[in-house]
Amino acid sequence: MKILLIGGTGNLSTDCARVLFERGHEILVLTRGSTPLPPDYQAIKADRRDPAAMAAALHGNHVEVVLNFLGYDQLDIQIDYRLFQGTVLQYVFISSATVYSKPPARLPITEEARLGNAWWDYAQKKLTCEQWLLKWWREERFPVTIVRPSHTYSQKWIPNPIASSSYTFASRMEDAKPVFVPDKGQNPWTLTAASDFAVGLAGLLGKAEALGEAFHITSDEVLTWNQIYAEIAAALGVQFPPVVQVPTDFICEIAPSLTGNLKGDKSHPGVFDNSKIKTFVPDFKCRKPFRVGIRESVAWLRDHPEHQNLNPEVDEMIEQVIHAWSLAEQKQA
């Protein structure tokens, strides 16, 4: 099939594009030209927010499936609806498992779980997009499939509850600087390698029975944050660093920018029932345990320091939270 990826060079989409290409699909990537693409992919050069430019760039390309990794608000998907209604077999909207209500009413989380995240505007916008697309599926059979990844990582990310896209967290561990963990670090959490996620996604493409449906695609491996930190330290080859346990409410008071990330996601249990995706895609199985995946990420980022994305602001925020909590504990003593 001829598949257009809106976003094809990110943490999640890079592996998805690769897996789809390896399965024999023709890969087109919408790009503004700032990020190099593999030579086997076709670049569709246009501004994502310019419908006329997108239409012109796509002229003559009979795309069968569209994967939208960059739909963050309703305007994005309205543009796509006007472009692709009646012309594609399937439009896959990459949403997020953050759309589920927090805290979850029961575990494991299924696709039937209550929706609505009170803490994170990112999740709220994703849900608005889902609902808008499904409305047009019901009314006009716009061929949408909703996919909800949870916390994914690739060779470019060191997953953690603070800033996964930056190597700053790992750098602090290397330098034996303290890091903080929300609450007691015992919250059960699921991390999914992007390469594993891609297998589940690929299996949904071209399936008429997947239209109008929503799927989350995650690993079945569940670790606590304390276990995740220990695996990161082991991958870095350092002793387990000082880890300061800080209540989530306190973290968000000192660093309000983390409110959505924590109260809307990572401070609550993230354990998923993947029965639905396994029914639709029988060959889907996450084969990369975090212990293996995190070592690959560390090795790659050490070999490619230009991609480490070290962030002094993240480093300073971690220092501020730990310092403020230390003062609070002293007052309580």
Domains, the chain, ranges and CATH?
A: 89-332 (3.40.50.720)
pLDDT of residue 31: 87
pLDDT of residue 241: 81
How long a stretch of residues is the chain?
333
Mean pLDDT of 176-186: 97
Which residues of 151-286 form beta strands (DSSP E)?
A: 151-153, 179-182, 188-189, 191-193, 214-217, 223-224, 243-246
Question: At 35, is the pLDDT very low, low, confident or very high (cuts 50, 70, 90)?
Answer: confident
Question: At 240, is the pLDDT very low, low, confident or very high (cuts 50, 70, 90)?
Answer: confident
C-alpha distances in Å from residue 284, one per residue of 58, 61, 154, 201, 262:
32, 30, 18, 9, 29
In angstroms, rounded to a whole number, what is the distance separating the alpha carbons of residues 275 and 273? Answer: 6
**Of 91-95, 238-242, 269-273, which gets the smallest average pLDDT?**
238-242
The torsion defined by the Cα of 238, 244, 245 and 247, in degrees rounded to 10, comes to: -130
For 244-263, b/e burial (b = at least 16 CB within 10 A) is: bebebebbbebbeebbbbbb
- Parallel, antiparallel or unpaired: strands 188-189 and 223-224: antiparallel
Q: Determine contact, residues 168/311, Cβ cutoff 8 Å.
A: yes
Specify burial of residue 23 (Cβ count, 10 A radius: 0-12, 13-18, 19+).
Answer: middle
pLDDT of residue 34: 73
Mean pLDDT of 146-167: 97
pLDDT value at 46 more than 80: yes
C-alpha distances in Å from residue 191, one per residue of 14, 100, 114, 263, 287:
17, 17, 22, 18, 12
pLDDT of residue 32: 77
pLDDT of residue 129: 98
pLDDT per residue over 110-135, tens digit each?
999 999 999 999 999 999 999 999 99
pLDDT of residue 8: 87
pLDDT of residue 247: 98
User: What is the residue whose two structure tokens read 């800033």?
Assistant: 163
Mean pLDDT of 204-213: 98
| Cβ-based neighbour number of residue 22 at 10 Å | 10
Tokens representing 134 are 């499904």
Question: At 36, is the pLDDT very low, low, confident or very high (cuts 50, 70, 90)?
Answer: confident
pLDDT value at 22 more than 90: yes
C-alpha distances in Å from residue 244, one per residue of 59, 143, 217, 285, 323:
55, 48, 32, 35, 10
pLDDT of residue 33: 73
Mean pLDDT of 220-249: 96
What pairs with residue 45 in β-bridges?
A: 31
User: What is the residue whose two structure tokens read 């034996």?
Assistant: 176
Q: What does pLDDT average to over the chain?
A: 96
The interaxial angle of helices 121-140 and 74-84, nearest 10 deg, is 30
In angstroms, rounded to a whole number, what is the distance separating the alpha carbons of residues 166 and 307? Answer: 9
pLDDT value at 332 more than 90: no
Mean pLDDT of 63-90: 95
pLDDT per residue over 129-153, tens digit each?
999 999 999 999 999 999 999 999 9
pLDDT value at 37 more than 80: yes
Mean pLDDT of 196-211: 98
pLDDT value at 71 more than 90: yes
